[in-house]
A and B are shown apart, each in its own frame.
Chain A
Amino acid sequence: MAKKLDLRRFPGFLPMTWLCLFLLYAPLIIVMIYSFNDSNSITQWGGVSLRWYKDVFWGLEAEKFKLAAIHSLIIAVAAATVSTTIATMAATAMLRAGRFRGKSISFALINLPLMVPEIVTAVATLIFFSTIGFTTGLTTILMAHIVFCVPFAYLPIAARMQGIEDVYEQAALDLYATRYQAFRLILLPLMAPGVISGFLLAFIISLDDFIITNFVKGAGIETLPTAIFGAVKQGIKPNIMAISTLLLLVSVVFVTLSYLVGRMGQNKK
């Protein structure tokens, strides 16, 4: 009997995939493990304990990191909310409003923050705020974050909207709904999973940003990433591992949520 030839399989691709996963996860898992290390040195293993988590919340630097975390949270919530709103409007314009002047250049504009290298955006934003005489601080960080969150929020929102045929809105119009009602009662509920995903992604992107924040934050204001960076510059200490693990978990939880919300929407359809 002839052996069936599976054309989808190439020998060695499975081990490569495992290698890829290993490379991606190994450093993170090592840091997570060492965050439970009961030792003053980051290299010596001194048994399992939660002492560095206690240190993060109640230790010497706790106040500094707490304040930075609050800043990060405020900015992430505000930036995600504003950028999701803007991206929803933009997606409606690009996908549901037919042709209008400047449409193709608008599409390029939405994606511009993804194309300009982060460090260039950081420099340009710093120069801009200094030229118009704006004091750097939370507001400038927020403005900068909204800009680069827009394309990230746009992606899932537009993808979702593209998957919704416009016949539903036509049916609503046919049944005497105004255009606003067709949006609020039909389009928005149907694309809700996309909007939620967009919000969550924008939230993480804002929470994670270091380079741009580092440039436009001004003296004295820290977000969690800039505070961590500052601390790491003096050498990696065990409390950094605990903070990193916590931040890592926040990201994973949010991405998982975003993923599940997206899937839920698909299954319902």
Chain B
Amino acid sequence: MAGGMVKSENTNTSTYAGLGGWLILPTWLVIGFFLLLPVGIMLIYSFLTKEFRGGVIWDFTFAAYDQFFFDRGLFGDDPAKIEWTYIKIFWRSIWQAGIATIFCLIIGFPTAWFIATRTGSNRSIWLFLITIPYWVNLLIRTISMKFLIRDTGPLNEWLMSMGVISEPIHMINTNFAVQLGLFYSYLPFMVLPIYASVERYNFALSEAAADLYASRLTTLRQIILPTVKPGIIAGCILVFVPSLGAFLAPDLLGGAKTFMIGSLIEEQFKGNAGNWPFGAAVSMILLSLVLIVLTYYARQQSKAEQG
């Protein structure tokens, strides 16, 4: 423990010392009972047998995971081959989420930097403008984007009336539309953490670098980027993770060719045609993927704190 200043770091004299357990109890009841426990049950479900009208039969089986990874032919008795359908969907989701993340970073970093270098109330107004769209219903934002980029939508109409193009650019139902939708959904998530770390950046460092003959670009590469890296990583995670499991953007802006994990899961629980154990298994795989990313992130953060 660092000696020197002895302030009220003491634990047993906090105002509500001894009540912590009681005060946190409702949180445990609500999140523990309605989220932690359900995820546990979902894990069990992923090992059960499907019933044809939706729902499950309580027979333990690996069938759901087997269906995800292996192709055993129409009747299930062919020699097992790797089943690429679902792996491809996962790969596509990762790809789409990755592209969206890169778009967000390219636009988000300069924006965050610009806002963080404003002063006083100017800065909070800019910040407010960036956050407002996040609070607008995601469904409405996605519908707006769908409306805007349709073949006969305002964007194409406008471009044609300007004479830039002679016939509409087909955007809807393409990979690009989905990437654009994801980008649009989660852009503020990129700006905010980068903003927070640039705001803490000490500009005396830039001055010191300039004093030691560094160019603007060298300063950006050698001094600024390493210092604000935690914010950049946080922003990328905050965009990538929800994009991975997104449902609305691929569903409304994409088509059959842009099918992503979210839609795959949703299909398993729709009406009687669904397969609950398989849906649960896909959910578990998605959750594991997300947890891996988050654990990696937590490692990086604690490394950054120690270093």
Contact = CB atoms under 8 A, between A and B. Distances in A.
Direct contact between the two chains A and B in their complex (CB within 8 A):
yes
A117 B126 CA distance: 29
Interface in A83-107: 85-87, 89-90, 92-94, 96-103, 106
Contacts of A125: 34-35, 38
A246 to B, nearest CB: 10
Contacts of A110: 27, 31
Identify whether the interface residues of B are mostly helix, strand, loop, or mixed. Answer: helix
A8 interface: yes
Given A98-B12, A128-B37, A147 B28 contact: no
Contact of B26 (A25, A90, A207, A210): A90
A226 to B, nearest CB: 9
Interface string A121-135: 101111110110000
B210 A5 contact: yes
Contacts of A116: 35, 39, 287, 290
B247 interface: yes
Interface in A44-68: none
Given A23-B184, A236-B143, A117 B107 contact: no
Given A97-B23, A98-B14, A117-B244, A10 B290 contact: no
B30 A120 contact: no
B35 A179 contact: no
Q: How extensive is the interface on chain B, given as a class?
A: 35 or more
A20 B23 contact: no
A146 B45 contact: no
A259 to B, nearest CB: 6
Contacts of B22: 93
Contact of A30 (B20, B139, B144, B279): B144
B137 A106 contact: no
Contacts of B30: 86, 146-147, 150
Given A112-B36, A208-B137, A7 B203 contact: yes
Contact of A8 (B143, B152, B203): B203
Given A106-B28, A127-B41, A252-B136, A93 B269 contact: no
Given A16-B107, A124-B42, A210-B139, A166 B245 contact: no
Contacts of A93: 16, 19-24, 27
Identify whether the interface residues of A are mostly helix, strand, loop, or mixed. Answer: helix
Nearest to B154: A30
B115 interface: yes
B206 interface: yes
Interface string B185-220: 001100100000000000100110010000010011
13 contacts: A5-B210, A8-B206, A17-B111, A19-B107, A31-B144, A93-B16, A98-B11, A112-B31, A117-B244, A118-B242, A123-B279, A124-B35, A256-B132
A127 B38 CA distance: 7
A21 B148 CA distance: 16
Contacts of B279: 123
B184 A27 contact: yes
A14 B118 CA distance: 11
B146 to A, nearest CB: 7
A117 B241 contact: yes
Given A28-B141, A109-B28, A252-B136, 11 more contacts: A5-B210, A12-B110, A19-B107, A120-B39, A128-B38, A147-B30, A204-B135, A211-B262, A225-B137, A232-B252, A241-B147
B147 to A, nearest CB: 6
A251 B135 contact: yes
A25 to B, nearest CB: 7
B62 interface: no
Nearest to A89: B23
B157 A119 contact: no
A118 B13 CA distance: 40
Nearest to A182: B15
Contacts of A19: 107
